């Protein structure tokens, strides 16, 4: 029989949980991680970040071959999509990565307990018929799809992101409900593969929370690619028909209802904390009105030896945020001072162009009454972007008017998701725009856009 006493039991093997397990083991703690889905890696590796990025990459390659190769003198004929094969590749990538985490668990001597964990007392977790005890418990159970009242997801024609990653064929007409991150990423995948995609959004803008000016340019770019938007619109029902789905909707502010037909409807109106059958009531762990597990600045719940991290607590539902918290909480449990700088958590949307940001938006700075300078530089003036034939977008740096400290960076354009790493480091180190401007960036690289945007803060960009 396996030993059933641990220093830490982590419930949930997603980016929050598995990273916490590895860090805690590195620090010498005896660790177990309970996961019920049959594979490690959580939402992110199994039905989130990784499969969606695999399909985004495949569909982007197809789009390039269709529309951008000819300009570079590459002629292709007989181009077609083998959707089955594309899905197979995606599944292979997922399997490779989730298997890799099992290997990491073995390497770090972490006990992987397969099954659903229930907290039965402040230091005991039950999995099936077995009970395990631990000095500390970490809840890392993540999130699940938020549903819309009256719309039943069958994962075939009315799908969540999970079903959208497993479609059997490319729909002719797809409606996404919610023009947020999932809607735009997976909407882009199927638009590139030939579907007519309409995004219906309750608010009068897409991607709420993102820098407003950039959002407008982002929407224009997606419209140019063929995605249609119906903003300020509320979906009130979805009825399955012989040929697909009939949606009923009305203006968000009220008004006449209208209908729309689609082969597939993707419901992506956010995600909610997942704490089902976890036993929180039994041990008295407090949750918020929205169902998130409440924690203090050390990720500790109101029950002193129970902690929580990742999507199940407040903050952006992002894999890297969960990972940072996983590391920090492991360090706290080992008696160290784990820390997460929530102002330096980047957000990326992996469409084309990519969108990435870190720090404050212009709206947030205005609301806080902070005066700032703006430096903006276009990819059109970047040699490498032009040489690559991929020069849409710009980088925008917001720096404190008095101190020049970088407060926010927002990028729309090629490789924005990679460029934001340098920007996040700038914010983490409290850099000024001058610091970025005086840092040598290799030529010709896309990264020079960030340097030039920093120079533009003091109106001294060299190439515009
Ligand atoms: P999860 O990854 O949800 O892991 C929690 C795990 O706990 C799950 O595997 C679940 O099975 C398990 N579990 C739950 N209850 C129990 C229990 N009682 N016992 C045992 N196990 C349990 N984020 C990004 O940063 N970048 C992206 O590109 C990105 N793309 C995404 C695309 C999609 C389609 C989706 C849906 C999400 C995406 N996300 C992305 C968000 C990202 O997946 C999450 O923020 C991240 O997975 C959260 O990590 P977590 O460890 O908190 O929870
Ligand atoms: P989201 O919060 O990004 O977007 C949901 C959208 O739906 C919002 O624009 C919202 O206004 C809209 N909405 C809500 N109710 C509606 C209604 N009744 N009718 C029409 N629109 C409505 O949530 P999404 O896209 O579901 O993603 C869930 C989470 O997954 C996000 O928090 C995100 O952080 C994470 N994710 C991250 C990715 C990344 O980092 N690249 C990729 C995909 C998901």
Domain boundaries, the chain: 5-145+272-340, 158-269, 344-457
Read off φ and ψ for residue 198, nearest 5 degrees: -120, 130
Read off φ and ψ for residue 72, nearest 5 degrees: -95, 15
Question: What's the CA gap between 117 and 140, in Å, rounded?
Answer: 11
Say whether pLDDT at 4 is over 90.
yes
Ligand 1 binding pocket, CB closer than 6 Å: 11-17, 34-37, 42-44, 48-49, 52, 116-117, 140-143, 161, 182, 274, 278, 310-311, 317-320, 322, 350
pLDDT tens digit sequence for 403-425: 999 999 999 999 999 999 999 99
Task: Determine contact, residues 137/162, Cβ cutoff 8 Å.
Answer: no
pLDDT tens digit sequence for 166-195: 999 999 999 999 999 999 999 999 999 999
Q: Which of 255, 2, 283, 277 is nearest to 122 (CA)?
A: 283
245 CB contacts (<8 Å, ≥6 apart)?
157, 158, 175, 238, 239, 261, 262, 263, 264, 265
Question: What's the CA gap between 377 and 52, in Å, rounded?
Answer: 30
Instruction: Name beta bridge partners: 247.
Output: 238, 260
- Two tokens, residue 236: 């009130």
Say whether pLDDT at 2 is over 70.
no
Half-sphere exposure of 2 (CA within 13 A, CB side): 15
Question: What's the CA gap between 453 and 464, in Å, rounded?
Answer: 10
151-168 average pLDDT score: 97
Half-sphere exposure of 309 (CA within 13 A, CB side): 35
CATH homologous superfamily for the domain 158-269: FAD/NAD(P)-binding domain (3.50.50.60)
278-292 average pLDDT score: 97
Going from the C-alpha of 460 to that of each of 381, 401, 434, 436, 463, the distances in angstroms are 14, 16, 11, 13, 9
Question: What's the CA gap between 175 and 9, in Å, rounded?
Answer: 41
Look at residue 256 in the predicted model and tell me its pLDDT. Answer: 84
* Cis preceding-peptide flag for 353 (omega within 30 of 0): yes
Which residues of 140-244 form beta strands (DSSP E)? 143-145, 158-159, 173-177, 196-200, 228-230, 233-240
Tell me the CA–centroid distance for residue 299 and ligand 2, in Å.
25
Binding site membership of 316 for ligand 2 (Cβ less than 6 Å) = yes
First to last CA, the chain: 69
Binding site membership of 182 for ligand 2 (Cβ less than 6 Å) = yes
Binding site membership of 396 for ligand 2 (Cβ less than 6 Å) = no
Q: Which residue has the tokens 């956010």?
A: 270
84-111 average pLDDT score: 98
Atom of ligand 1 nearest to the CA of 145: 36
Atom of ligand 2 nearest to the CA of 183: 25
**Ligand 2, from 147, 153, 181: best to mutate by most atoms within 8 Å of Cβ?**
181
Question: What's the CA gap between 368 and 287, in Å, rounded?
Answer: 29
CATH class of 5-145+272-340: alpha beta
Q: Which residue has the tokens 């399909």?
A: 55
β-strands 228-230, 196-200 pairing:
parallel
Give domain 344-457's CATH architecture: 2-Layer Sandwich (3.30)
Task: Determine contact, residues 187/296, Cβ cutoff 8 Å.
Answer: no
SS3 343: helix
Binding site membership of 271 for ligand 2 (Cβ less than 6 Å) = yes
Look at residue 1 in the predicted model and tell me its pLDDT. Answer: 47
Q: Which of 94, 87, 261 is nearest to 190 (CA)?
A: 87
265-272 average pLDDT score: 98
Say whether pLDDT at 12 is over 70.
yes
Average pLDDT, the chain: 97
Tell me the CA–centroid distance for residue 118 and ligand 2, in Å.
29
Buried b (16+ CB within 10 A) or exposed e, 27-37: bebbbbbbbeb
Binding site membership of 325 for ligand 2 (Cβ less than 6 Å) = no
Atom of ligand 2 nearest to the CA of 349: 41
Nearest ligand to the CA atom of 204: 2
Task: Determine contact, residues 413/341, Cβ cutoff 8 Å.
Answer: no
pLDDT tens digit sequence for 202-234: 999 999 999 999 999 999 999 999 999 999 999
Which residues of 164-218 form beta strands (DSSP E)? 173-177, 196-200
Catalytically active residues are 443
Going from the C-alpha of 371 to that of each of 368, 399, 401, 433, the distances in angstroms are 9, 9, 5, 15
Q: Where are the alpha helices (DSSP H) in 334-396?
A: 362-367, 383-388
pLDDT band for position 114 (cuts 50, 70, 90): very high
pLDDT tens digit sequence for 349-378: 999 999 999 999 999 999 999 999 999 999
Q: Whose CA is nearest to atom 24 of ligand 2?
A: 270
Q: Whose CA is nearest to atom 43 of ligand 1?
A: 44
Question: What's the CA gap between 346 and 318, in Å, rounded?
Answer: 9
Tell me the CA–centroid distance for residue 399 and ligand 1, in Å.
34
Say whether pLDDT at 430 is over 60.
yes
Question: What's the CA gap between 352 and 171, in Å, rounded?
Answer: 21
pLDDT above 70: percentage of residues in the chain: 100
Binding site membership of 128 for ligand 2 (Cβ less than 6 Å) = no
Say whether pLDDT at 384 is over 60.
yes
Look at residue 3 in the predicted model and tell me its pLDDT. Answer: 75
Atom of ligand 2 nearest to the CA of 207: 9
Read off φ and ψ for residue 88, nearest 5 degrees: -60, -45
Tell me the CA–centroid distance for residue 231 and ligand 2, in Å.
14
Q: Whose CA is nearest to atom 22 of ligand 1?
A: 12
Strand order in the sheet with 257-262: 233-240, 245-251, 257-262
405 CB contacts (<8 Å, ≥6 apart)?
399, 430, 431, 432
Atom of ligand 2 nearest to the CA of 235: 19
Nearest ligand to the CA atom of 355: 2
* Domains 158-269 and 344-457 are alike in CATH topology: no
Q: Which residue has the tokens 């990273």?
A: 19
Tell me the CA–centroid distance for residue 267 and ligand 2, in Å.
9
**Ligand 2, from 43, 180, 252: best to mutate by most atoms within 8 Å of Cβ?**
180
Question: What's the CA gap between 261 and 245, in Å, rounded?
Answer: 6
**Ligand 1, from 11, 12, 118, 166: best to mutate by most atoms within 8 Å of Cβ?**
12
Q: pTM for the complete prediction? A: 0.98
Tell me the CA–centroid distance for residue 143 and ligand 2, in Å.
13
């Amino acid at each position: 029989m396996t030993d059933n006493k641990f220093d830490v039991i982590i419930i949930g093997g997603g980016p929050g949980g598995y990273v916490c397990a590895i860090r805690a083991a590195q620090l010498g703690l005896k660790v177990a991680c309970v996961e019920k889905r049959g594979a490690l890696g959580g939402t992110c590796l199994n039905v989130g970040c990784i499969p969606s990025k695999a399909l985004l990459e495949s569909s982007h390659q197809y789009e390039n071959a269709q529309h951008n190769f000819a300009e570079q003198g590459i002629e292709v004929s007989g181009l077609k999509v083998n959707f089955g094969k594309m899905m197979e590749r995606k599944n292979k990538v997922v399997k490779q990565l989730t298997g890799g985490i099992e290997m990491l668990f073995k390497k770090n001597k972490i006990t992987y307990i397969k099954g659903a964990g229930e907290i039965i007392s402040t230091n005991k977790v039950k999995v099936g018929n077995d009970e395990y005890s631990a000095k500390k418990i970490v809840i890392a159970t993540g999130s699940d799809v938020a549903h819309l009242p009256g719309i039943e997801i069958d994962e075939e024609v009315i799908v969540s992101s999970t079903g959208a990653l497993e479609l059997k064929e490319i729909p002719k007409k797809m409606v996404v409900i919610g023009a947020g991150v999932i809607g735009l990423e997976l909407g882009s995948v199927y638009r590139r593969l030939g579907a007519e995609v309409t995004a219906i959004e309750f608010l009068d803008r897409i991607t709420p929370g993102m820098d407003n000016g950039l959002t407008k340019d982002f929407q224009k770019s997606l419209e140019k690619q063929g995605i249609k938007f119906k903003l300020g619109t509320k979906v009130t029902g979805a009825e399955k028909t012989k040929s697909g789905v009939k949606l009923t909707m009305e203006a968000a502010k009220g008004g006449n209802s209208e209908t729309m037909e689609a082969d597939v409807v993707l419901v992506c109106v956010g995600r909610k904390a997942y704490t089902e059958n976890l036993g929180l009531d039994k041990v008295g762990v407090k949750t918020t009105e929205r169902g998130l597990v409440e924690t203090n600045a050390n990720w500790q719940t109101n029950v002193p030896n129970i902690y929580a991290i990742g999507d199940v607590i407040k903050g952006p539902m992002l894999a890297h945020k969960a990972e940072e918290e996983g590391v920090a909480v492991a360090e706290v449990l080992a008696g160290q001072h784990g820390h997460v700088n929530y102002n330096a958590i980047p957000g990326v949307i992996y469409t084309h162009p990519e969108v990435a940001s870190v720090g404050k938006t212009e709206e947030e700075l205005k609301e806080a009454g902070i005066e700032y300078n703006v430096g903006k530089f276009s990819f059109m003036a970047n040699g490498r972007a032009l040489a690559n034939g991929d020069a849409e977008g710009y980088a925008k740096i917001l720096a404190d008017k008095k101190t020049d400290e970088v407060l926010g960076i927002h990028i729309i354009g090629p490789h924005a998701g990679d460029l934001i790493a340098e920007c996040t480091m700038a914010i983490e180190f409290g850099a000024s725009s001058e610091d970025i401007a005086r840092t040598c960036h290799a030529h010709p690289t896309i990264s020079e856009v960030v340097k030039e945007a920093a120079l533009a803060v003091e109106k001294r960009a060299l190439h515009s």
